[in-house]
Amino acid sequence: MKKQPFFSIFIPTKNRHQHIEEVMQSILHQNYYDFELIISNNGANSETRDIVNRYIHDKRVQYIEHPQILGMPQHWEIVTKNLNGNYIIIVTDRFLLKQNTLRFLHTTITSSDKDMNVITWPWSMYYPKKKELFESIKTYEREPSIEDITEIDSYQELKNMASGTMNKYPFILPRGLNSCVKSNFMDNLREKHRIIFRNINPDHTFGYLCLHNTKKIYHINYPLSISLGIEDSNGHKSYHGNAESYLKEIGIKEPFLNVPLKLAFVINSIHEDFLSIAKLSRNDEIIKKWNKSAYYKECLVELDAKKTAQILSKEKLNELEKEIFLTIKKEKWSIKAIITIFLIKNRIRLIIKRISQENKRSQYISCKNSLTAAKISTVDYKP
């Protein structure tokens, strides 16, 4: 009988083969070996298939191909149902695991007397064109330790998110790509809710479901993974442009049932996910605490980002702005007053941001490639 691996690591990928080998190498060259690695090729991209075939001789590697493109929620749901490990980690096709990540997670879990259903961590950013690593938390010169682990009250974190005072979001939210989740816990979630990676954004809906269904999660205040820039991120592209193509792909006719605005904004979809999962979980208190003023502020910040990016036409931007302000106009005077003050402060913030941009350069570290940034050596590969 085949031994159950401690970790199942799932790489979902769709028409983005550029970094898939780096991602795989960051996992296969870890100094911990008890895992299975599943690469799921959504859309059967031939370049991705050719790359994975170079590693298929490794018994830990499994390859799945979907000729017809699945929506992201459906893709994640189908594959994660059939993983064998005690703990599940999702590593997207532009994320790398830093060296020692799996060993540290295994030691943390097995040495603890607590039931660690959900563990999260932040990530660093590597910019391939500039060959620079950005560390929001200055930890590059040391290894993670037990002192980095914090116990988080799940319900308090939900209240923080609802009120607009999110703590270390998005790092604390267990979105799969920054978390390690016990498979039994995921099975229980499915038994209760049937689908755990839901529309609109499966990483967010899963994260919110985790918080609604466990009293505590554990956050490691140390970046265990690296994102390969943000230029290739679908979320980044949609934030600065338009998310309508994504919504069409996942097949939702009426995506925004719980939020005031009906715009294809990334922020709008995240708030829709938050409210829909609170509704699914029958958590009326969290719904009541949802801060509508903070929601409008975040949508206006995204609108500013779209204006700066100049991907959308001026006519489209004017149309979006008009819809936002017509909707705000219908709100009570207290919300309108908060938004007016915010608009003034936001203009000042943008000016200060431009002035202080150069001060952040000290947090960048020069690295010749992403594997160097992750401290991965390809010399000692043991298939």
Report the chain (383 residues): mean pLDDT per 10 consecutive residues: 90 94 97 98 97 97 96 97 97 96 97 96 91 78 90 95 71 92 98 97 97 97 90 86 91 94 95 97 97 92 92 96 92 86 68 50 78 78 54
Gap between the Cα atoms of 337 and 204, Å rounded: 30
Residue 334's SS3 state is: helix
Give the 3-state secondary structure of residue 105.
helix
Q: How far apart are CA 84 and CA 38, in angstroms?
A: 10
pLDDT, residue 350, reads: 56
Q: Which of these, 122, 284, 274, lies nearest to 211 by C-alpha position?
A: 274
pLDDT at 355: 46
Phi and psi dihedrals of 2, rounded to 5? -70, 135
Residue 107 is predicted with a pLDDT of: 97
Cα separations (Å) of 111 from 101, 104, 106, 107? 15, 11, 8, 6
Is the CATH code 3.90.550.10 the one for domain 7-232+368-373? yes
How high is the pLDDT of residue 174? 95
The residues spanned by each domain of the chain are: 7-232+368-373
Q: What is the pLDDT of residue 358?
A: 47
pLDDT score for 142: 85
153 φ, ψ (degrees, to nearest 5): -75, 115
Residue 348: the pLDDT is 58
Q: So what's the pLDDT on residue 365?
A: 86
Provide the 8-state DSSP code for 30: S
